[in-house]
Structure 1
Amino acid sequence: MMIRRETGKIYLPESECPIGPELTRESFLVSSLSQGAKIGVQNEPWCSYCLAPVGVAGTRFYIMLYFHSQKLERVTLTDAHPRFGTSWADVTEEKMTQQKEQNDTWLKVWNLLPALYSWGRVENSVDLHNMESSIIFSYR
């Protein structure tokens, strides 16, 4: 996986279609990105898709795309390494804190910081209510 700081585009291996502010729902659905994707929530005009897990440097990422009508509004990247928990019963606040720290490491690898950019925003989020920690790309 490669991410361009200047554009906010996320490039996945073996995909001809980058994920970024220009990606429309229509173009997503006809691209290789949609192969293996599952609808997360569909309440038109909002719809989210969970992509097939993507392997990166010995770990897997879960990637969610959130569309409002045709516009891609948000992308979440979640490091699915087993050390952060393998079930609801196995996830702890301590593991979520460790996952957030790992997210900071991933952001450094991709030369990004949680900040505002010309194309949108990057956040490193921990949601203790839902017991998840993700890197969030919000597009303008």
Structure 2
Amino acid sequence: DGNTSTEFEPDYLYNYPGIYDITLIVATITEPQCYDTLVFNHAVKVNESCRLIFPNAFIPSISGPSGGHYNINDKNNQIFYPLTEGVEKYRLEIYTRWGELIFVSEDINVGWDGYYKGKLAKQDVYVYKATGMCTSGREFSQTGDVTLYR
């Protein structure tokens, strides 16, 4: 993909699935300078990564609705949201056990804060449905349940 590194042992994260060649170019730092190139054809195969990992429980904040915006580094577990990889479009729906839709988000950065109509939802098991599209264009649909603890 055209990126370069001068590190001794470089690491690289490929952004898209595919098969990539690796080119190693070596040069001396003394005069006269000498160069050599080695190409490893089809050296790296990157598979599509499209994952959503949901927790099975959370404890909402009792201080009131937060709007669902979360900080991935905050370990308080007060917002229900998935860890994602390779997700381009996203829709999260939360249902009561009786099938009533109580929350919808189409923003990957907004999860459910455990509130419904401004009030803390009761401790119970809720059903989630996540649908969307991977960066590769493949569609996904995932369902499961989450326990809200108070």
Q: TM above 0.5, one fold?
A: no
**Higher strand proportion:** 2
Flag the structure with larger Rg.
2
**Higher helix proportion:** 1
